[in-house]
Chain A
Amino acid sequence: DVKVTQSSRYLVKRTGEKVFLECVQDMDHENMFWYRQDPGLGLRLIYFSYDVKMKEKGDIPEGYSVSREKKERFSLILESASTNQTSMYLCASSLYGWGEMETQYFGPGTRLLVL
């Protein structure tokens, strides 16, 4: 079974802090994704990565950066946390991203509260 883990289930941070969210997958997947989920807005893609050290902006990259130094690990960085970044953050991975059998696997999510 594919396993995607996220470093924290719940996180409370102060405005202006630098925040790191970590995601690890154990299936040698090429693609990894970071989404945020807010009521009424659904899942919105922040960044994705299709290879080590490669990244692409999603729909809402402002205020975020990412790092993928190893294939299995994809980090989301909030450079200076703000209250409007309070949200549920979901990490996902997929083998290649294209093809009829391509499936996304999700981690359990990190609920971040910025005070």
Chain B
Amino acid sequence: KQEVTQIPAALSVPEGENLVLNCSFTDSAIYNLQWFRQDPGKGLTSLLLIQSSQREQTSGRLNASLDKSSGRSTLYIAASQPGDSATYLCAPNTGNQFYFGTGTSLTVIP
């Protein structure tokens, strides 16, 4: 079974900082990996999807990388803003199941 770990569990940064969220997974036989954002009490919103054949994917201030062979992905957030405060989850897809980490709770302080 796929095991997904996200480090750190929580992160607090001042506005404007660049930051990196980490995701590691045990089964490298994935089709893709998705990064989600979750606001308190809400559902998950997809941020980025990296296909297994890709190394990076960018959307605005977000950049996600994937090293499938080592079972790692990172989400880079540039010039963080208070509106980025949320929990970020990664989810590798190993077939018709998606496996989730417990997330990184990000607080951006104005």
Contact = CB atoms under 8 A, between A and B. Distances in A.
Interface string A68-99: 00000000000000000000101010101111
Interface residues of B, number: 26
Contacts, number: 68
B43 A97 contact: no
Interface size class of A (residues with CB under 8 A): 20 to 34
B28 interface: no
A100 B46 contact: no
B93 A43 contact: no
B99 to A, nearest CB: 8
B93 A45 contact: no
Q: What are the nearest 5 A-B pairs in CB distance?
A: A97-B96, A100-B51, A42-B102, A43-B100, A106-B43
Interface of A: 4, 31, 33, 35, 40-43, 45, 48, 50, 58-59, 88, 90, 92, 94, 96-109, 111
